Amino acid sequence: MTLNIKARIQIQKPINEVFENMVDPDKMRQYFIGSSTGRIAENAELIWTFPEFDEKCPVTIGQCIPNKKIAFVWDPETVVEIELLEQADKSTLVIVTEGRKEVNEKNIKWFAGNTEGWANFLACLKAFSEYHINLRKGAFEFLKK
C-alpha cells in the first residue's frame, strides 16, 4: 500500500488561460508563490519562495506540455503531476497528483499536509483564474506568529 495525493477542481476558463496562469511567475505570484527564478518550462531548474515560509524551494521541471501537463520534483522522493483537461463547455479540469510514498508516520503527516496544500492551491488558482482574486493574501499570517 502506498500514499498518493490526488486533488482536482473545474475552472470556468479556457485551458490556455489556466495553463498560462500556472506557468507565468508573475501570474503565479497572484495566487501561489512569493517569487520564482523563472517561468515553468521543460527541464527548468527553479527556486520558489512562499510568502508564509522562510525557506527557498528548489523545483525541477520534468515535463511541460502546453495546455496538457506539468510535472515537477520539489521533494526528491516524489513527483507532482498537474494535468489539464478541456471539458465540453470549454472549462478546464485541473488534476494534481503527488506521491507514491510508503505508509508510515512521517509519510502520513506529509500526505495530510500536502493534500491540504494542493486543495488550497486549486481553490486559489480557481479564484484567480475566474475572478482575479488572491485568496492567499493574508491567509497564512498566523504561521508567522
8-state DSSP, 82: E
Is the distance from CB of 57 to CB of 36 less than 8 angstroms? Answer: no
**Helix axis angle, 105-131 to 15-23, nearest 10°:** 120
Residues 59 and 102: their CA atoms lie apart, in Å, by 22
How many CB atoms within 10 Å of residue 129?
Answer: 23
Structural domains present in the chain: 2-138 (3.30.530.20)
- What share of the chain has pLDDT > 90, as a percent? 83
Q: Strand pairing partners for 117?
A: none
Tens of pLDDT, residue by residue over 5-57, are 999 999 999 999 999 999 999 999 999 999 999 999 999 999 999 887 888 99
Confidence check: pLDDT of 136 > 90: no
What's the confidence (pLDDT) of residue 55? 86
- Identify the burial level of 117 via C-beta atoms within 10 angstroms of its C-beta, where 0-12 means exposed, 13-18 middle and 19 or more buried: middle
pLDDT digits (tens, 9 = 90+) for 73-125: 998 888 999 999 999 999 999 999 998 899 999 999 999 999 999 999 999 99
pTM of the predicted model over 0.85 = yes
Strand order in the sheet with 2-11: 2-11, 92-102, 78-86, 69-75, 56-65, 45-49, 35-36
DSSP type of residue 53: -
CB 128 within 8 A of CB 21: yes
